[in-house]
Amino acid sequence: MACLLIGISLIKISLKMKKIYLFLLLFSTFSYAQFSINGTLTKALNSDWVILYKIESTQQVFIADTTIKKDSLLIDGKKVATGTFSFTLPTTAKSGVYRATYKLKGAGFVDFIFHKENVNFSFNPEAPETTVLFSSSKNNVIYRQYLEAISLKQQKLDSIQIAVLRNKTLVLDAEYKKAYNEMIAVQNKFLAHTKELYVYPFIKATLRKIPLEIIKTPQEYMSNVTTAFFDTIDFSNKTLINSTFLTNKIIEYVFYINYSDDKTQQNNLFKRSIDVVLSKIKDPEYKKDIIVFLISKFESINNLESIDYLLEDQYKKLPKSIQNQEFVVQKKNLFAAEVGRIAPDFSWIENGKTLQLSTLNSAENYLLVFWSTECSHCLTEIPQLYVHLQGNKQLKVIAFAMEKNDSKWKKMKTDLPNWHHVLGLKKWQNETARIYNINATPNYFVLDKNKEIIGKPVLLEDLKTFLEVL
């Protein structure tokens, strides 16, 4: 009986040990069934946050956020403030290019490849692109090694090419051929070593097509750069599409490779380069993403001609099923009242007559002022402006009052004779004010006799200066 009890006890202990083993096994499996992204900042920041995004086409998709843990290192006998952060990704996390963002303005991010492996890196937050160093992640380590190796060979080849362009008497064909072969050897070496790795498409697409022989003239050189720029890039490759690689190449081609000091020529180059880029893209959805992306870039430099070209000539060519008319209307309205545009038209009743902005013909220039009797700045500036413009017969003022009602406006407009006075009820919701994107008062628009907007001074003193040179 005692032996039986001992046997039963041993069986129970054995079963319990098996459960513990299975739990530990499951826990161990779960622990390893995820990946870590660890970053070290070699210099401390004022901020303490990091946001992780995944790059999808031209968009950043939020993944997670975390805090930076402040620390310090002893370097050359001095304490240097540092920081660390960490993210955990599940096994189901998609492979691709991710971005760790630690500030919203300037170069405040690090891009890296994630493909089912831990990623560890360090960087100086003031110069992330040139200082990032990967200590783990085969894809990232190899790609950085490749970029360093190929850039050295490229610089050597370029220096020979530029020397000949500057001095046509130089004969450096042998040196060029040697440098060319060395560069191709580096390219082929990394292509062979990475054929089974996620990073392979990036390495294949990075090296632009280089002529076998040295080029003798600057014109021929630039022609080769522009015509062969995308020859090694596959615009249908999903790995490249869902990264910053293609968008960076497109920016380089449109805004830097095709450049002119002449404004008219530059706009023609923009159109031509846009055509080239979009001709390379066969996927309609990705083409749409790039069009929208380029519109945002031209917004930042206020190039209305290129924005119009993208909206009217390129966006409209997309399949109707993927066009967003609300987006088109929004963009058109956003730039309807910019310098270079014809001022959006509107009409009003004045002394029993209907007047229209577009048909006014009593002056060489016009000043359209959006103001309000409820705006303290307006109550100070508008009388000053009125006094300043006395005697100016070449300029006519259209004072557009944004009001909730007409009680105060009726009184104040009598103090400003010889101006056109327009009552815009509903204040900020007034339709004309919204078309002009008015979100503050006073707001000034200087027009020529054809009602083209030629200036949008912000301050009264700026307006006075602008009007003096008309």
**For the chain, the helix, strand and coil percentages under 3-state DSSP, each to the nearest 5:** 45, 25, 30
Quote the radius of gyration of the chain (alpha carbons, Å): 32
Arch. (CATH architecture) of 347-468: 3-Layer(aba) Sandwich (3.40)
- pLDDT tens digits, residue range 338-372? 999 999 999 999 999 999 999 999 999 999 999 99
> Given pLDDT bands bounded at 50, 70 and 90, which one contains residue 10?
very low
Domain limits of the chain?
34-130, 347-468
- Model pLDDT, residue 16: 46
What is the per-residue burial (b if ≥16 Cβ within 10 Å, else e) of 161-196?
beebbeeeeeebeebbeebbeebeebbeebeeebee
Q: 409 and 440 in contact (C-beta within 8 Å)?
A: no
To 10 degrees, what angle do helices 284-300 and 245-252 make? 50
- Model pLDDT, residue 33: 66
Beta-bridge partners for 355 = 348
Which tokens hold the place of 423?
Answer: 């009552």
> Given pLDDT bands bounded at 50, 70 and 90, which one contains residue 86?
very high
**34-130 and 347-468 share one fold:** no
Residue 213 pLDDT > 80, yes or no? yes
| Cα distance between residue 362 and residue 418, in whole Å | 12
- Strands 119-123 and 34-41, how do they pair? parallel
Q: 35 and 116 in contact (C-beta within 8 Å)?
A: yes
| Cα distance between residue 341 and residue 155, in whole Å | 45
Mean pLDDT estimate for the chain = 91
Q: What is the pTM of this model?
A: 0.81
Q: Class for domain 34-130, per CATH?
A: mainly beta
Which stretch of DSSP H or E encloses residue 197? none
Burial of 429 by CB count in 10 Å (0-12 exposed, 13-18 middle, 19+ buried)?
exposed
